[in-house]
Every structure is written in C-alpha cells, then in structure tokens.
Chains A and B, each alone.
Chain A
Amino acid sequence: MVPFVLATIPLVLSIILINTFLFPGATDTIVSIGPLAPTWTGLTAAAQATLRVLAFALSVAVFSLTTPTDDLLTDLERRGVGRRAVFVIGAAIGMVPRLVERAGEIVDSQRARGLDTEGARWRRVRGVVPLAAPMISSALTEVEERTLALEARAFSAPPRRTTMRPLPDDSQQRALRWGLLVFVVVAVAASVSGALGIP
C-alpha cells in the first residue's frame, strides 16, 4: 500500500503548490510572504484534487494487492473474454521482468565494450540510445518466434479454452460486488445532482 501512496507524492506536491499559490482569481489570502500569496480557495481546491488522486491510487493499490494477475486472467477468460485479449494482457504483465533482465544483460555487455554507464548524468542518458535498439529488436524477434511456437500449440484453435481452476465465488462475494456497484451508481448520481455538496 505504501509504495502506491509514495508514488503519488510528486503529483500531490505539485497540485498543492500550484493551486495554493497560483489559483486564478482567488483573493482570500492566508498570509502574504513577499511576492507569495497563498489563498484559502486554492488550498481547498488542492485538498479536493489531492483526495481524488489518493482515491485513484488507493483503488489501484487495493486491486493489485487483492487480485493475483493469474486469477484475474483466469476469470476474464471464464467470463468469455477472447483468448487473444487475455494472452496480450498476461504477456504484457509477464514481459516487464524479462525486459528488465534483458536490459541488465545489454548494459553489462556494452559496459564490457567500454560504454560509460556510470558517472555524469548526460553520459548515462547518452547510454540509453545503444540500449534501446537491441532491446527493441530482440523483443521483436522474440515475438515472431513466439507467435510461431504458439500457433504450433493450437493457439488459434476454435474451441473455448479449458478453464484450469474455477475460482471460488461464494454468495457473500457476489453480494459485495453488486452492493459496491449500486453504491457507485448512487454516489455518482448524488454527486452529479449536487446532493453531496461537492463542487
């Protein structure tokens, strides 16, 4: 949970600073410090925007912490999402650690041939260029080989794929899901109609 909240810090900081000090048209100054004039209106707007960002970050956190990727894909497939779509999602998620590993290998091999990957920042930035080309070309080559290997393993066969393990889904979970859906609809309706008093 903490990393998700930490990831929002740069965005939240910029929201607070820009809104508090530069809110257009606001005149209710909290305190004047030389040319700086933070306003109550700006601070309120910043607090609202921060809550929205946090709500978004925490919803992503709850989803990723409670739902193993494998379970998500299995359930999507069970609910009739096409095998290609499910495969693309799974492969994209699975590719991240492999790309990181490959990047490490390429950096090591280029360092062995004298490329400066440490030291001054501009040198390191320059080192990204020779890293990107082999990364992309090797990833594309892999895609071609993998496509053929998958095709040979009946990936395009027409029948619906066998579900390996039915996920437990009891009446409480179903009730909670429907309850949350109803809550979202009611909350959005109340917010849009102005009943909640949120601008």
Chain B
Amino acid sequence: MTASTPAPRLSLRDVSYGYVGTSVNVLQGIDLELAEGRIVGVVGPNEAGKSTLCLVAAGLAPLAIGGRLDGTVEQDGVDTRTLSAGDLGQRVGILFQNPVTQLSGTSVTVYEEIAFGPRNLGLPLGEVATRVEWAADLVGVRDLLPRDPARLSGGQAQLVALGSVLALRPGTLVLDEPTSQLDPLGTRLVGDALADLAAETGTAILMVEHKTDLLARMADEVVVLVDGKIAKSGLAAEVLADPALPALGVEPPSDVRLRGALAEAGISFDPSWGPASGVQAAVGARE
C-alpha cells in the first residue's frame, strides 16, 4: 500500500450477519469501502437490512448485540471485532432515527449531553470543554448549550445527538435515517451539517436515507440494498438516475422523476437546463 492510496476509513469485505436466535443471515456477501471525506448513501426497501448494515458497520454487531458475523469489517485497517467499546467509539460514531432515545436521559443541559462521550473516555476537563464547543459549533447548537435536552424540538434534539457523537471525533460516521423524523428545515440543517463535516474534517459518512433528494445533493456514491445484498452501487448521480430504481422499492429523486414524466409526455429535455428554467423551457417548447 502506498501513501497515495491510504487504507479506507471503513471497509466491509464479504460480510454476512445474522441476529442471535435466528438462522437466517440478514446481510449476505456485502462488499463496501468508504474513503476519507466521502459520503456513501444506502437506499433500499423496508426489511432490506439497512439498519443491520449500520450496526455492523459501526461495530455494534456483534460487539453489543451478539449474532454471527462472517467476513471482515475494518475501521482504519483494524478489525472491529478486536476493538473495545472505548476504541470503537473514537473510530466510528452512529446516529439512529429517533433523537429521543439517543440522548442519555441523565443530562440536565445540552452541554452535559454533548460532554457525555468525552467524559466516558476520561479526557481532561479542558479537552472535554474544547470538544463540546467544537461539536456544538459544527452542528450549530451553541445557542442550545444551556437548555434542557428533554425540551428540544425533534430537529434540535437530532442535531444535539449528532453533536454528541461527533464530540468523540470519530473518523467514520454511520447514520441510520438521521432525518426521518425531521421536517424539511430540520432535514436541511442536518444535511448541511453533515456535508460540512465531511468536507472540513475528512470524516467518512455512511448514510441510510429514504430521502433520495437529500442523497442526490450530498452523497458521492449510492448503494442499493435489497434482501440483504447489494443490488446496485456506483456514483450517486448514476445510481439515483437508474430507471430500475422504482422496481427495487426506491423512489428516485424529484428531478429524475420530473425528467421521467417529461419524457413520458413526449417533451424533449435538455440536461443543461437549470431546474426551474428547464421546466419553463420544456413546457414552452410543448406549447
């Protein structure tokens, strides 16, 4: 391996996983690589194994929930099965759908909530304070620091949960539908914070997301997961424009759907047109 091709932040090779007490593998033969600063989106129908993929990629399966893992999952070239919980937390962070369950429930202020992870690592108080302020600025919740975490809106709570994970400064971030409970403004806030994070800190992001419009805006690559297997993968623009996407249970982004509708109506479409002017020009051409 040369200096120009560093080890990927996250690497899954021929990974299969089954939960405790079942004989079926929820994931089968998954190969996936995530380089520094890259955002990879994961889409797929319900029960495709997306959340399981998150747990496996984050090292929580089998470390925290048990189960059978075949193949290798590596963070920065280190097998996750050899890592302790403390090491794992500093290498990979995970954010789930429900903001409420991700807050510790024991902190009286947002400040303490974000400090929860760094304190678990036993860092000096000055370093804890530095990390809390850094993470709060990164996700834009500095104004919320003195507030009670139990009294935040869904979007605010999710940003605090994201900040709490980032305070551990993980090289990789795994997100399981982080915007599913957020309104359009909350979705935009979280999306922008994540894009900035990848660009500014080189954090590699694996993101399960139903909102393909968000992925079209943020992701470098997209993986389509169906029945625990990767059905398609590639550059985000190509995968999200694939006409087979609806048949796989994934709704394409709105611009792809619009182009499809225009084509179906027999209206010629020039891809160089901007989103709004494109529609006007297309409609004008038809008239």
Contact = CB atoms under 8 A, between A and B. Distances in A.
Contacts of A90: 105-106
A153 interface: yes
A157 B120 contact: yes
With most chain A CB atoms within 10 A of its CB, the pick from B105, B108, B116, B125 is B105
B169 to A, nearest CB: 11
B121 A157 contact: yes
A94 B151 CA distance: 13
B21 interface: no
A169 interface: no
A116 B101 CA distance: 31
B96 A157 contact: no
Contacts of A94: 105-106, 150
Given A148-B55, A157-B85, A164-B112, A95 B119 contact: no
Contacts of B123: 162
Categorize the interface residue count of chain B: 35 or more
A87 B106 CA distance: 7
A104 B105 CA distance: 19
B105 A155 contact: no
B182 interface: no
B-side interface mostly: helix
Given A154-B117, A164-B112, A145 B124 contact: no
Contacts of B108: 70
Secondary structure of the A side of the interface?
A: helix
Given A149-B101, A153-B165, A156-B86, 16 more contacts: A83-B120, A91-B106, A97-B150, A146-B105, A148-B65, A148-B96, A149-B96, A149-B102, A153-B89, A154-B85, A154-B89, A155-B85, A157-B120, A162-B115, A162-B122, A164-B125
25 contacts: A87-B106, A90-B106, A94-B105, A142-B100, A145-B96, A145-B101, A148-B55, A149-B102, A151-B85, A152-B92, A152-B165, A153-B117, A153-B165, A154-B117, A154-B120, A154-B168, A156-B84, A156-B86, A157-B84, A157-B89, A162-B115, A162-B125, A162-B128, A163-B125, A164-B112
Interface of B: 55, 58, 60, 63-65, 84-86, 88-90, 92-94, 96, 98, 100-102, 104-106, 108, 112, 115-125, 128, 150, 161, 164-165, 168
Interface of A: 70, 73, 83, 87, 90-91, 94-95, 97-98, 142, 145-164
